[in-house]
């Protein structure tokens, strides 16, 4: 493999509109691959028409999807971009320059989020700095929902950022909340993590305080206030689903009318359809 080559990897599930906007902006990459988790909106066909190599892989969890992208990449460096993110020309130039630096195995990328149609500067979004540009031999992705790349070596930070156009409306937040909390709750139960009573009430309060006060979310205006409130609601919903699924598996397992615990894959497919 040529270490100067870079593959851009995009995870997709019903992302047709976003792929139409994103993929034409990636012509600077040596290769673009789309890992499709089972889209029903023509995403794979659109990606192929726009020059991407498509890998159809049934969704099991986010880390596994990203690891599959790393394994399929033809470049030694992989830049992971979500379908609702947009790289600037300056970021593209920096990526091409940084991958020649052999002293780093990965780079964190600043994220600037537009939520509910407003560019957020606070609410905790100011700290978004995920590890996205990685040498694929340097580690693996871990985690079912909030996955992260565990790198075996030093990592740096890019100067230029990705624009993240996410959650256009509160309704979109609620839909995403339903999907992600279902996946996370099922993963916790599968891992044998028992629910705690404190999670149902304390964690939502802590999350609201963290985003609204500690991370200055009140400075993001009404949109920021709603975002902080919904983030707290998400913690409550996760704790409730965790408790219900745990009870279903460990307490009510002998009751005939109670169904079996859904696995992570079925939870994703059911809520994404």
User: Above 60 in pLDDT, residue 238?
Assistant: yes
In what helix (H) or strand (E) does residue 164 lie, and over which residues does it extend? strand 162-166
Domain ranges in the chain? 6-166, 170-272
In total, the chain counts a number of residues equal to 273
Beta-carbon-side half-sphere exposure of residue 252 (alpha carbons within 13 Å): 12
Q: Are strands 106-108 and 131-135 parallel, antiparallel or unpaired?
A: antiparallel
| CB contact set of 225 (below 8 Å; sequence gap of 6+) | 212, 217, 218
| Angle of the 221-250 helix axis to the 197-209 helix axis, nearest 10 | 170
* pLDDT more than 90, % of the chain: 85
Segment 95-117 shows an average pLDDT of 95
Segment 163-187 shows an average pLDDT of 95
What separation, in Å, do the N-terminal and C-terminal C-alpha atoms of the chain show? 38
How much is the pLDDT for 250?
83
Q: CA 265, 266, 268, 272: dihedral to nearest 10 degrees?
A: 140
Residue 201 CA to residue 232 CA, distance in Å, equals 10
| CB contact set of 138 (below 8 Å; sequence gap of 6+) | 105, 106, 151, 152, 153
Residues forming beta bridges with residue 33, ordered by sequence position: 9, 53
Question: pTM for the complete prediction?
Answer: 0.85
| Assigned CATH class of 6-166 | alpha beta
Q: Encode pLDDT of 239-266 as tens digits.
A: 999 999 999 988 765 445 444 444 544 4
């Amino acid at each position: 493999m040529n270490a100067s080559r870079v593959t851009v990897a995009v995870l997709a599930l019903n992302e047709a509109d976003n792929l139409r906007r994103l993929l034409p902006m990636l012509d600077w990459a040596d290769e673009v691959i789309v890992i499709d988790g089972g889209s029903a909106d023509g995403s794979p066909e659109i990606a192929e028409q726009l020059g991407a190599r498509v890998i159809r892989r049934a969704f099991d969890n986010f880390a596994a999807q990203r690891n599959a992208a790393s394994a399929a990449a033809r470049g030694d460096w992989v830049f992971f971009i979500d379908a609702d993110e947009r790289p600037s020309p300056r970021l593209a130039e920096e990526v091409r320059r940084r991958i020649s630096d052999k002293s780093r195995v990965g780079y964190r990328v600043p994220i600037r989020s537009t939520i509910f149609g407003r560019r957020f500067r606070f609410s905790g979004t100011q700290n978004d700095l995920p590890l996205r540009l990685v040498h694929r031999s340097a580690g693996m992705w871990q985690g079912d929902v909030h996955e992260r790349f565990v790198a075996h070596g030093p990592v740096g930070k890019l100067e230029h950022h990705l624009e993240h156009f996410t959650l256009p409306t509160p309704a979109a937040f609620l839909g995403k909340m339903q999907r992600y909390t279902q996946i996370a709750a099922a993963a916790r139960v599968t891992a044998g993590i028992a629910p705690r009573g404190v999670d149902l009430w304390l964690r939502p309060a802590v999350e609201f305080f963290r985003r609204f006060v500690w991370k200055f979310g009140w400075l993001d205006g009404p949109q920021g206030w709603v975002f902080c409130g919904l983030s707290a609601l998400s913690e409550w919903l996760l704790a409730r689903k965790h408790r219900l699924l745990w009870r279903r598996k460990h307490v009510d397992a002998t009751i005939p009318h109670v169904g079996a615990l859904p696995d992570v894959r079925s939870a994703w497919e059911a809520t994404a359809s």
